[in-house]
Structure 1
Amino acid sequence: MGDPGTRWLDDEEMRAWEGFLAAGALLNRRIEQQLKEEAGLSHPQYEILVRLDRAPGGELRMTELADTLLTSKSNLTYQVTQLEKSGLVRRRSCPTDVRGVFAVLTEEGRRRLADAAPGHVALVRRLLIDVLSREQLTVLADGFGTVSRLLRGPAAD
């Protein structure tokens, strides 16, 4: 098959790759459905609320928020605009940088997150955390941490 110098995936490697793809897609689909039905949020919107809730003062610069969410600035702008329309987030200008904009969690955003979080966590537990042993979770966390650091590049070290 193709280039003889290519290191093709063996059966176990292919099983891992295909399992990763299927589990990730299916888990994301179920999370997206649950958040839409129970909280009226998309998964990216939920993650924005979580990051803002954890940030000092409930606010982050848009560029920092995009970096933590691993999303494009244009996608983040779209999601924050939708959250703004719902009154869950507001934007404010940075007083020291005319180009800087902060996303700020509103009280309504805090309430929506508090309402959405229990169902979201229960689903993540039911579909991922509780079906794996502690050892499997450790292996996944370590392995995906390694991959994430590699993909983020030398600045992540």
Structure 2
Amino acid sequence: MSRTPDPALVGLAQGWCALSALHGRIEAHIERALQAGHELSVREFSVLDVLSRQHDGEGGHLRMNQVADAVVLSQSATTRLVNRLEDRGLLTRYLCLTDRRGIYTDVTDAGRALLAEARPTNDAALGEALREASKRAELAPLVAAVESLSPAA
């Protein structure tokens, strides 16, 4: 006995596939640009970006689980990524003064310099990827939705 698929679920599945395709296209385009220009992966850029926004004071520093959530990686993958960035001299870690169990991670001067150098590449690649994706009928509405989130839009 065959069941007729629920049209609402079919539509959701198609929307999810389009969203996944858009994400994959954008991430791959940015990855190629960052690797070619700065020997930096999208995830490395994201970690540097997230950590560069930290500040002193209440809630100013992120724990590793917060970093993992921000860059959508498991805690173990985030730890490995932070280790690689620390080995490259882009990050440093230190104990929290108020909670000796807590370890904070800060971006070094070299990390901030690389982030500043890579940000225009990231932004340009994002723009290029969105322009290319907008030419595809199934992705154009999603591109429009993403663009509508920008304060400049």
TM class by smaller structure: 0.7 to 0.9
Q: Which has the higher contact order (CA 8 A, sep 6+)?
A: 2
Rate the CA distance shift 1:5–1:101 in 2: closer, same or farther, 3 A: farther
Matched to 1:127, the amino acid is A
**Structure 1 unpaired stretches of 5+:** 142-157
Matched residue, 2:144: 136
Matched residue, 1:144: none
Rate the CA distance shift 1:42–1:138 in 2: closer, same or farther, 3 A: closer
Contact in 1 for aligned 2:52/2:106 (Cα 8 Å): no
Matched residue, 2:116: 114
Matched residue, 1:79: 81
Matched residue, 2:137: none
Matched residue, 2:41: 42
Shift of 1:138: 5.8
Superposition map of 1:23-42 within 5 A: 23-42=22-41
Contact in 2 for aligned 1:45/1:79 (Cα 8 Å): yes
Rate the CA distance shift 1:63–1:21 in 2: closer, same or farther, 3 A: closer
Contact in 2 for aligned 1:59/1:105 (Cα 8 Å): no
TM-score with structure 1 setting the length: 0.73
**Greater helix fraction, Structure 1 or Structure 2:** 1
Contact in 1 for aligned 2:48/2:107 (Cα 8 Å): yes
- Identity among equivalent positions (%) equals 30
TM-score with structure 2 setting the length: 0.75
- 1 CA distance for matches of 2:123 and 2:62? 23
Rate the CA distance shift 1:20–1:67 in 2: closer, same or farther, 3 A: closer
Contact in 2 for aligned 1:46/1:113 (Cα 8 Å): yes
Moved over 6 A (4+): none
Matched to 1:46, the amino acid is F
Superposed CA deviations along residues 30-58 of structure 1, whole A, max 9, x for unmatched, are: 21111111111111110011111111158
Shift of 1:125: 1.1
- 2 CA distance for matches of 1:106 and 1:37? 22
Rate the CA distance shift 1:139–1:41 in 2: closer, same or farther, 3 A: closer
